[in-house]
């Protein structure tokens, strides 16, 4: 298993902070507000200009378009060019923030993450109680776009690192590299790297009515072709400039590069922002060759899927011989079940958010008498019942007198059986709270494991009710 809980804590911001600007492609004025968020919230965008103020999580699976930025959509609600904002949050080592917008696109500002970083610094960063989860890369994982030759690979490393290698194939901007050795260097080395465009791309965008909020202060324009007088006049009109010129370094108008490899650094910024959509911190080195939003987000989707599968197939590392948190006698003090319907033997871990229980499956189980006597298999429904009993310990542990309560199942969803359970197997049940317990109602994600494999899983909702007369 490579998804781990680290000793470092999750972080959010201390207070809300707002910025105003214009969307690069929509040209709309927009106010964006960073708000503190609770543990395990992650990054999410909230469209306060729409009815119901819908929320779109920063999730790779919501990426619908990468033409001129990373664009998200959920239930018909869109967020455009999310990458610079997400890069700032990652670069500032923040885990949980709600981003409110009164338009579909964050402000472009100067085309970098600099102003977002400054706003987050103004808000202040604070630790939360919850541990941070991290995906530890143990094997090489790659994604390649065969059409363009763009490729992203992640390899094992001691911390999150990113290297970008770009080759634009033009005289004005050839091969460049950029590297982020430590995330803590993002603010000083990467955050102010501005977005850029080539003149031929700019002409196409203007013809199609795009970059309505663009001007020569929020993007670097590299002149990769001769400019006719007619084209120059169009550009002057589009950018409301009386006079435009091409500087000796091939840049349109009066911008000065922050670094000679600013283009490669901005590509790195985009990689950091796009990979924030994975939703889990990465401990590994990302090497991006000719990165772009399409290959970045396809890689993010692949990594997200791998992490999800590994998390689902994760067998809890427990010592089956350790002194249990609750033995069978203590379990019977909490649960009303008795043999042969008591289906768990001991509890190995118990917190306010999770529980791990164990059942040793033996041939003398009464259900084996009638359930395939010639080829005994534990019924799937009894696996779920045992899982629910384990979850009952979790929910009953929230009251001071559990012996005076009964636990009732309210709902079971998404039940899946993966492997057969046979005599001699040791079943390990792990249940995690999905949401806080309210009014005695508990919603849990449960998994059962045997022989190092996931054998069954279910989403369980239960409620504890006080026994009448007690």
**What are the residues facing 198 on neighbouring strands?**
222
Beta strands across the sheet bearing 141-144: 141-144, 151-155, 285-289, 161-167, 175-180
CA distance 146 to 1: 30
Cβ-Cβ contacts under 8 Å for 67 (sequence gap 6 or more): none
Q: Is 371 a catalytic residue?
A: yes
Q: Is 304 a catalytic residue?
A: no
| φ/ψ of residue 375, rounded to 5 | -150, 75
Q: Which of 84, 266, 293, 304 is catalytic?
A: 293
- Cβ-in-10-Å burial (0-12, 13-18, 19+) of 317 comes to exposed
Q: What are all long-range contacts of 238-244, with beta carbons under 8 Å and residues at least 24 apart?
A: 238/206, 239/214, 239/215, 240/215, 241/216, 244/216
Q: Which two tokens stand for residue 259?
A: 């670094």
- CA distances to 17, 24, 441 from 105, in Å: 17, 8, 39
| φ/ψ of residue 266, rounded to 5 | -70, -35
| φ/ψ of residue 243, rounded to 5 | -145, 125
CA distance 33 to 351: 35
Alpha-helical runs (H) found in 222-359: 229-238, 262-275, 293-312, 328-334
Helix (H, G, I), strand (E, B) or coil at 295: helix
| φ/ψ of residue 168, rounded to 5 | -90, -10
Q: Which of 208, 205, 184 is nearest to 196 (CA)?
A: 205
Catalytic residue list: 293, 371
């Amino acid at each position: 298993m490579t998804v781990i809980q680290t000793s470092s804590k999750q972080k959010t911001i201390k207070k809300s902070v707002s910025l105003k600007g214009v969307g690069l492609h929509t040209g709309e004025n927009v106010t964006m507000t960073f708000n503190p968020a609770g543990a395990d919230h992650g990054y999410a965008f909230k469209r306060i200009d729409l009815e119901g103020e819908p929320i779109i999580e920063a999730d790779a699976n919501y990426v619908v378009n990468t033409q001129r930025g990373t664009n998200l959509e959920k239930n018909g609600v869109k967020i455009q060019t999310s990458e610079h904002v997400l890069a700032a949050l990652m670069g500032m080592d923040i885990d949980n923030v709600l981003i409110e917008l009164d338009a579909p696109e964050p402000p472009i500002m100067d085309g970098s993450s600099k102003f977002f970083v400054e706003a987050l610094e103004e808000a202040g960063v604070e630790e939360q109680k919850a541990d941070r989860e991290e995906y530890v890369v143990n094997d090489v994982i790659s994604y390649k776009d065969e059409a363009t030759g763009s490729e992203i690979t992640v390899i094992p490393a001691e911390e999150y690192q990113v290297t970008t290698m770009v080759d634009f194939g033009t005289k004005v901007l050839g091969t460049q590299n950029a590297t982020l050795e430590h995330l803590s260097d993002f603010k000083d080395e990467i955050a102010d790297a501005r977005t850029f465009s080539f003149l031929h791309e700019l002409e196409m965008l203007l013809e199609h009515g795009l970059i309505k909020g663009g001007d020569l202060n929020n993007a670097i324009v590299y002149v990769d072709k001769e400019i006719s007088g007619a084209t120059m006049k169009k550009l002057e009109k589009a950018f409301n400039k009386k006079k435009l010129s091409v500087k000796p370094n091939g840049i349109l108008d009066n911008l000065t590069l922050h670094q000679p490899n600013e283009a490669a650094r901005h590509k790195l910024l985009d990689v950091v922002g796009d990979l924030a959509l994975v939703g889990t911190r990465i401990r590994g080195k990302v090497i991006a060759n000719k990165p772009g939003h399409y290959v970045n987000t396809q890689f993010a989707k692949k990594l997200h899927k791998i992490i999800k599968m590994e998390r689902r197939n994760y067998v809890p590392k427990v010592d089956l011989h350790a002194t249990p948190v609750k033995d069978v006698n203590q379990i019977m003090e909490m649960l009303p079940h008795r043999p042969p319907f008591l289906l768990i033997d001991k509890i190995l871990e118990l917190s306010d958010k999770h529980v791990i229980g164990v059942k040793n499956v033996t041939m003398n189980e009464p259900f084996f008498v009638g359930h395939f006597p010639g080829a005994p298999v534990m019924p799937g429904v009894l696996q779920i019942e045992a899982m629910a009993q384990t979850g009952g310990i979790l929910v009953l542990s929230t009251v001071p007198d559990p012996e005076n309560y009964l636990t009732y199942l309210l709902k079971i969803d998404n039940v899946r059986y993966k492997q057969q359970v046979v005599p001699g197997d040791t079943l390990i049940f792990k249940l995690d709270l999905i949401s806080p317990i309210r009014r005695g109602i508990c919603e849990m994600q449960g998994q059962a494991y045997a022989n190092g494999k996931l054998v069954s899983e279910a989403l369980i909702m239960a409620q504890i009710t006080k026994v009448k007369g007690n």
